[in-house]
Amino acid sequence: MNRVRAFITANRSWLPWAVGGVFLALAAVLPLLAIEIPGVFPGASYTPGTLQLLALCLLFASLALSYHLLFGTVGLLSFGHALYFAVGAYGLGIVLEQTDLELLPAIGLALAAAIVIASLLGAVSLRVTGISFAMVTLAFAQAGNVIVRRNPAITGGEEGIRLDIEHVPDFLVGVLNTRNLYWLTLVLLVVVYLAVLWFEKSRGGRVAAATRENELRVRVIGLRPIIIKLAAFVLASALAALVGMAYLLLQSGATPRATSADFTLTLLVIVVLGGVGSRWGAIVGGIIYTLLDQRLTSLAGSDAIAGLPDILRIPLSEPLFILGTLFILVVLFLPGGIAGIARTAVTGRGSLRKDRDELEEVS
């Protein structure tokens, strides 16, 4: 173990990229293989059902990364991040249905709308901090939810919006093309990761991390953290909107739940499960949470659970009970999440603030 730790320490600069490259290579060829994992995959890895599930995992990993940018990097606890996911999904759906634009121009128009909305709402929300910021973002998300539910002629109301496939390329439509949609979500995950990495490594990202630690000191040295926080808010919202568009293509529609506060709370659970402040932790958390959320539903209705005594059968038949219990255990006993476990196992050290010197670097 000591040799492993010494090797990782000596090659810390390139080793994460090597691991990431291996992950991408395996993920890219997975639809071409016939891998079966009972209880995890609904079928072989090349089947549409499994690829649909894996694509959903990648989408939630991308969405968790965008929320990591807000919460883990900048320290903004938002309860309304799902709003911008919904702006992307519903915005693209409305543009495709109401106009004659092809897919790429429609994506551009919907993304521009998401950026404008995020800029306006972010400028208002960031006038307050802490729990007040969380409540303001929650109010905006609830307003979006009401708008979606009360305008069935445009948004489909309670039934949600359906994907108009007239201007969508044929290779992205239909069950037989699930493989292409899977690869699309994989590319999107790479794009979101690189965008988050770029921001964190930029000067603005260092200012954001320093602001998270001590905003007053950042102000004292003459910087304006409000500008950086707004930039991070808009970037995270734009990335969430892109994920929402991919979700619309994958699911062939979207429902009002995409605008609800509990959807944002799901993202918070994912980030905490993976490890606050860790990019790859957000990815792993998103994949694991989505797999559990999807497969626990099947487990809850299985004969194995049905044959248990009532004291076990009743709670175990509710997937949310299991997920909630898992979240409580992680918060109580593993505050560093999955990333903290891996860091401790590899380096022998606990989870520390990796950005504790950000303020000195900025100044």
The DSSP bridge partners found for residue 253 are 162
Taking all residues of the chain, what is their mean pLDDT, rounded to a whole number? Answer: 83
All residues at 6 or more sequence positions from 55 whose CB lies less than 8 Å from its CB, including other chains? 178, 181, 182, 184, 185, 250
pLDDT tens, position by position, 184-204: 999 999 999 999 999 998 888
pLDDT tens, position by position, 56-100: 999 999 999 999 999 988 889 989 899 999 999 999 999 999 988
Name the amino acid, one letter, at 107.
I
pLDDT at 359: 43
DSSP state of 165: G
pLDDT tens, position by position, 262-317: 788 888 888 888 888 788 888 988 898 888 887 777 766 666 676 777 777 777 67
Distances in whole angstroms, Cα of residue 207 to Cα of each of 64, 189, 193, 281, 360: 22, 25, 19, 22, 10
321-328 contacts, C-beta under 8 A, 24 or more apart: 322/292, 322/296, 323/269, 323/289, 323/292, 323/293, 323/296, 326/273, 326/292, 327/269, 327/272, 327/273
Reply yes or no on whether the pLDDT at 357 is more than 50.
no
Q: What is the dihedral of CA 284, 176, 293, 22, to 10 degrees?
A: -10
C-alpha to C-alpha distance for 240 and 266, rounded to whole angstroms = 14
Q: Give, for 208, the enclosing helix (H) or strand (E).
A: helix 203-213
pLDDT at 85: 94
Percent of the chain with pLDDT over 90: 31
Model confidence at 13, in pLDDT bands (50, 70, 90)?
A: low
Quick check: 285 and 338 in contact, CB under 8 A? Answer: yes
Classified as helix, coil or strand, 127 is: coil
4-12 contacts, C-beta under 8 A, 24 or more apart: 4/346, 5/346, 5/347, 5/348, 8/346, 8/347, 9/347
C-alpha to C-alpha distance for 126 and 131, rounded to whole angstroms = 11
* pTM of the full structure: 0.86
DSSP strands (E only) in 179-289: 253-254
Classified as helix, coil or strand, 162 is: strand
pLDDT at 56: 93
DSSP state of 47: S
